[in-house]
Structure 1
Amino acid sequence: MRAAVWYGRKNTKVVDVPDAPDPGPGEVKIKVAWTGICGTDLHEYWAGPIWMPLEPHPLTGKAAPLIQGHEFAGLIEEVGPGVVGFKPGDRVTADSETHCGKCWACQRHEYSLCEICAYLGLGRDGVFAPYVTIPADSVFHVPANISLQQASFSEPTAVAVHVLQRGRLAAGDSVLILGAGNQGLLQYQLIRHSSASQVFMVEFEGKRAEVARSLGAEVLDPSKVDVVDYVKKQTDGRGVDLTLDDAGNSETLTMALQATRIQGRVVEVGIFEKPATFNINDLVLKERELIGILNTGCMIPTALKLMAAGRVDPTPLISNRIDLEDVVEKGFEECIIHKDKNVKVIVNSNRDLWDA
């Protein structure tokens, strides 16, 4: 089969690879319909390895070169021995992580924080491929009123749910979202259905800002507006209660801290390609909280319920739909070079499932 394989920085190629294996006990084989290009995929392509293992992964034994991709939906192709609840043809999505079940985090059911967690496309072969074989306990049925294109957003939607949990979003909170990419726009859709009092988004003019405004967001262009000053004026001089930094760089981290009120919360969502530099006094002297976030927090079932209920619709976020063969040029390169023109590009691995 053909798959997008990471060989090194700026060196992902669509090549022939062995077919996905038949499912073993407790596993299912999935025919992949759609896979979203995630910021993590782009970071690994452009600046990796960040999480991509160069030595055998302690849980899976796998190392690069590996097939990339982890946000997906498809159809059950085959079920392995002992699997119940799934049958061929079922529409499904899956969590991207595989955990050890033994470490301190796993014993607390914090599986996303497993000490040796392996992710699809990062520690084991991913889903920029026609088929994938994975543990059945990471797989979830897709509700009937959600397309497989929409269901490919279940993982980032789950991340957005977990972000708001970690940030302890409360009734009446004012919120600042830095970055109107895929994650920021999913967060915005969740927040606008909450009891938050004010929501501001920061993004440069372009496609992302247009989509944000179409969803009802107030968008601030940091090249035209002093974001910290504006937000403080709109919050009686205090700053917002909660800031979500989806951009992940030193400048946005500084902006996030300075725009947040005394004892407010900053959730750092973005992946940093290099160490951050910021004034620690922006954190300490105002007793602000800086909170990390990793992966879904096992929130995919919740994400699917919210999508089925219409609280989140990822369709407006789709900038382009492309074939697997074009994932590097029309996917990775396009999203990096023309970031201002794209929010989310999704990749089709089986042409007969294009309309699924």
Structure 2
Amino acid sequence: MKAAVYYGPNKIEIDDVAEPEPRPGTVKLKVGFNGICGTDLHEYYAGPIFIPTQPHPLTGAELPLTIGHEFSGTITAVGDGVTGWAEGDRVAVEPIYRCDHCAPCRAGNYNVCQQIGFHGLMSDGGMAEYTVVPTGMLHKLPGNVSLELGALVEPMSVAYHAATLGDAHPGDTAMVFGAGPIGIGLWFALRGKGLDDVLVVEPSPTRRAAIEALGATTLDPTALDVAGFIAEHTGGRGADAVFDAAGVTPAVATALACVGSRKPMVSVAIYEKPLETPLLNLVMNESRIQGSLCYTGADFDAVIALMADGRYDTTGWVTRIPIDDVVDEGFEALHAGTKMKVLVDPNGES
């Protein structure tokens, strides 16, 4: 079968690899779509970062390996001992491997497991025609949720988890910094939680146009004093929650200037460079920075329910490509900024 195999920086090849077969407690999936994530881009251009160069303690895998951790699929075979799942079931995959015995796992916070692994980063993943996953990773898709949307459940759950940590409620003012895929996901999540006043701060005209087409209200930080606008917009109260999905110093500085007293700035970005954080704002405002990592099964279930309710739209920001075009039309296009979100179609179903 065809698979996108990662060998190291700037080296992903479409190889013909052996088709996997299910083991006890697992199922075999025919992959519907697999998204290219920002983490995948970091691995391609600067890795290996998370992809192990020695056997991972939970999976035993190391590079080279088949990448891909944002994916959906259809069960084609079940392993011994599997119950509750059958051939033909359509699923989204929550790709976390966890140890179940470290302190965070014992507390129920397995998304910050001290040995965390991901299917498609620490094992052969979903950017292939078929993959095999443990049943604990499966979330069934309702009949009206497509495999295309199913592949977006993982990144949208990253955003939903962050939105939950922001603890914003209907009637509140929320701000999202960055209108990439996670920023778009935050807007969908906050709207799904009942917030009407959600403002998206984005300097790129292309990205502003894409999220505006979905119905969002945007602010251009190159043409507007964002902090001054928010002060006036909220009667001096400040935003009830701000979310950084941009990962750059100017966005963080502006976010902290906008957040209300005793309210959070939730950080859901990957920071490639050290930040100079104006801590005085935090002290004088008694506001705080809240980190957000990954998701839990509850986030997956919530996102799937919102998708079934028609609350997510892929128009204008999601592109589908065949697996043979992964490098040029996937990684290179995303790096150049000519595409926003790319879903790889390894089986030619689209």
TM-score (norm 1): 0.93
* Offset at residue 197 of structure 1 (A): 5.2
Q: Which amino acid aligns with 1:50?
A: I
1:350 maps to which residue?
A: 347
* Offset at residue 275 of structure 1 (A): 2.8
| Distance in 2 (alpha carbons) for counterparts of 1:284 and 1:9 | 41
Q: Give the secondary structure class of the aligned counterpart of 1:77.
A: strand
* Offset at residue 330 of structure 1 (A): 0.3
1:245 maps to which residue?
A: 244
Q: Give the secondary structure class of the aligned counterpart of 2:34.
A: strand
| Distance in 2 (alpha carbons) for counterparts of 1:82 and 1:118 | 24
* Offset at residue 243 of structure 1 (A): 0.5
Q: Give the secondary structure class of the aligned counterpart of 2:51.
A: coil
Identity of aligned residues (%): 38
Segments of 5+ residues of structure 1 without an aligned counterpart are none
| Distance in 2 (alpha carbons) for counterparts of 1:155 and 1:36 | 9
Select between 11-20 and 73-82 the one with higher mean Cα deviation.
11-20
2:92 maps to which residue?
A: 93
1:16 maps to which residue?
A: 16
Q: Which amino acid aligns with 1:209?
A: R
1:220 maps to which residue?
A: 219
Q: Give the secondary structure class of the aligned counterpart of 1:124.
A: coil
Q: Which runs of 4+ in 1 moved over 4 A?
A: none
Count of residue correspondences:
349
Q: Which amino acid aligns with 1:84?
A: T
Shift of the 85–33 alpha-carbon distance from structure 1 to 2, 3 Å rule, reads same
1:133 maps to which residue?
A: 132
* Offset at residue 109 of structure 1 (A): 2.2
Does residue 182 of structure 1 match 2:177? no
Q: Deviations over 1:265-284 (max 9, x none)?
A: 10001111233332222323
* Offset at residue 220 of structure 1 (A): 1.3
1:151 maps to which residue?
A: 150
Q: Which amino acid aligns with 2:71?
A: F
Within-5 A mapping of 1:1-356: 1-20=1-20, 22-196=21-195, 198-298=197-297, 299-310=299-310, 312-316=311-315, 318-337=317-336, 339=337, 341-351=338-348, 353-354=349-350
Shift of the 230–50 alpha-carbon distance from structure 1 to 2, 3 Å rule, reads farther
| Distance in 2 (alpha carbons) for counterparts of 1:30 and 1:281 | 51
Shift of the 52–336 alpha-carbon distance from structure 1 to 2, 3 Å rule, reads same
* Offset at residue 260 of structure 1 (A): 0.9
Q: Give the secondary structure class of the aligned counterpart of 1:176.
A: strand
Shift of the 109–87 alpha-carbon distance from structure 1 to 2, 3 Å rule, reads same
Shift of the 249–48 alpha-carbon distance from structure 1 to 2, 3 Å rule, reads farther
Shift of the 157–166 alpha-carbon distance from structure 1 to 2, 3 Å rule, reads same
Q: Deviations over 1:278-320 (max 9, x none)?
A: 222232332111111111222212211111012x223225432
Shift of the 194–138 alpha-carbon distance from structure 1 to 2, 3 Å rule, reads closer
CA contact (8 A) 1:43 1:273 kept: no
| Distance in 1 (alpha carbons) for counterparts of 2:53 and 2:145 | 37
| Distance in 1 (alpha carbons) for counterparts of 2:53 and 2:274 | 21
* Offset at residue 78 of structure 1 (A): 0.8
Q: Give the secondary structure class of the aligned counterpart of 1:223.
A: coil
C-alpha RMSD of the superposition: 1.7
CA contact (8 A) 1:157 1:186 kept: yes
CA contact (8 A) 1:47 1:273 kept: no
Q: Which amino acid aligns with 1:342?
A: K
Q: Which amino acid aligns with 2:91?
A: V
CA contact (8 A) 2:41 2:335 kept: yes
